Amino acid sequence: MRLNSQSPFLATFLLFLMLTTLNADQNLVVPLLVSLRNEGLIPGDESTWYIYAGLLGTVPAISGIITTLIWGYIADKTSRRRLLVIATLVGAIPTFLTAFSNDYWQLLFLRSLTGIGISGSGPVSRAFVADIYPPNQRGKGYSLISAATGGGTLIGMILAGVMPDWRSPFIIASIPNLILAPLFLAIIKDVKIGYAEPELKQIYVKGKEYSYRINLGEFYSYLKSTRTVLFMFLQGMPGTVPWGSIPYWSLTYLNVRWGISKDLGVLVLLCGGIGMIIGFFVGGMLSDYYVSRNRRNARIGFLSLAY
């Protein structure tokens, strides 16, 4: 079966499953920090083990930040379909191998590789969505792949919370993408870069090709000179601090400081994740609705409300 570039549902559905599983991989460590420490995988005494535990979240994030721009640049040069598969496997394979870690440094190294894959899936999947959805429907497309973040967070935390040991969740969470990624590559057809843009679609329909590809000099120039991109980047940075640290440490805090069981703590985070998923869908659908009614600043308005 091959996907017609004008029928994006199947591609989006498979992409949603892949990203959900990938984000589940990312969030497995959160409910397991105390278990990892009790089994000696996280070193340190009562006052220092938090530093080592924090690095299991910080180092993968740094590796992802460093490589995100590289993923985005490559996504503007080559097949986004193949890059999605590569990013997914770069995230899934180290997750599988994490289950066999014997010490802290192996664990940290493998989580860093997973961070590279997860961070790469973000820009590449959004570029892919822009190729298969026209401008007035992209809110729906982005809401689906963004909901995968919340859905994956829920699945990862629930899975890690209910399993009796810390190794099994990494195996169970990684296996689906070891199947889904090759399946995506096999049944989804490459979509030409920019196909859903009305102006470029006219070129492709006429049998011509859009051959322009950005180079590094232009990439840096656009990044530096495009004020909208710079503003979105700068205003988003402060928000990533609490939204990175609070979910990562909240379960451990509830367990250690308040004496709340892991199961009840997972339930608290579950409520937040459900709200996140609802917000993604509602925001995406409403932004498309108002754009279709010629409210050209609708997406900017919803972004402002979100922050």
Which one is predicted more confidently, 133 or 282? Answer: 133
**Within a domain: residue 73?**
yes
**Within a domain: residue 1?**
no
Q: Are 101 and 110 in contact (CB under 8 A)?
A: yes
Band (300; pLDDT cuts 50, 70, 90):
low
**Within a domain: residue 201?**
yes
Q: How far apart are CA 304 and CA 298, in angstroms?
A: 10
Q: How far apart are CA 157 and CA 74, in angstroms?
A: 32
pLDDT (0 to 100) of residue 175: 95
Residue 4 has pLDDT above 50, yes or no: no
Band (88; pLDDT cuts 50, 70, 90):
very high
Which one is predicted more confidently, 227 or 296? Answer: 227
Q: How far apart are CA 169 and CA 171, in angstroms?
A: 5
Residue 245 has pLDDT above 70, yes or no: no
Residue 271 has pLDDT above 90, yes or no: no
Stretch 149-159: mean pLDDT, rounded?
81
Our measurement of the distance from residue 149's CA atom to the centroid of its chain's CA atoms, rounded to an integer in Å, reads 6
Q: How far apart are CA 7 and CA 97, in angstroms?
A: 36
Band (302; pLDDT cuts 50, 70, 90):
very low
pLDDT (0 to 100) of residue 6: 46
What pTM, to 2 d.p., does this model score? 0.79
Which one is predicted more confidently, 172 or 209? Answer: 172
**Within a domain: residue 155?**
yes
Stretch 246-258: mean pLDDT, rounded?
73
Q: What is the DSSP letter of 30?
A: G
Stretch 161-166: mean pLDDT, rounded?
83
The highest-confidence range among 135-139, 249-253, 271-275, by mean pLDDT, is: 135-139
**Within a domain: residue 200?**
yes
Q: What is the DSSP letter of 257?
A: T
Q: Percent of the chain, pLDDT > 70? A: 86
155: CATH:
1.20.1250.20
**Within a domain: residue 4?**
no
Chain segment 192-218, per-residue pLDDT in tens:
888 878 788 888 887 787 777 777 777
Task: Give the structural domain span for 26.
Answer: 9-306
The count of domains in the chain is 1
Band (242; pLDDT cuts 50, 70, 90):
low
**Within a domain: residue 282?**
yes
Per the listing, tokens 């870069």 go with 193
**Within a domain: residue 279?**
yes
Single out the residue of 230, 221, 269, 256 nearest to residue 49, CA to CA.
Answer: 256
Band (173; pLDDT cuts 50, 70, 90):
very high
Residue 186 has pLDDT above 70, yes or no: yes
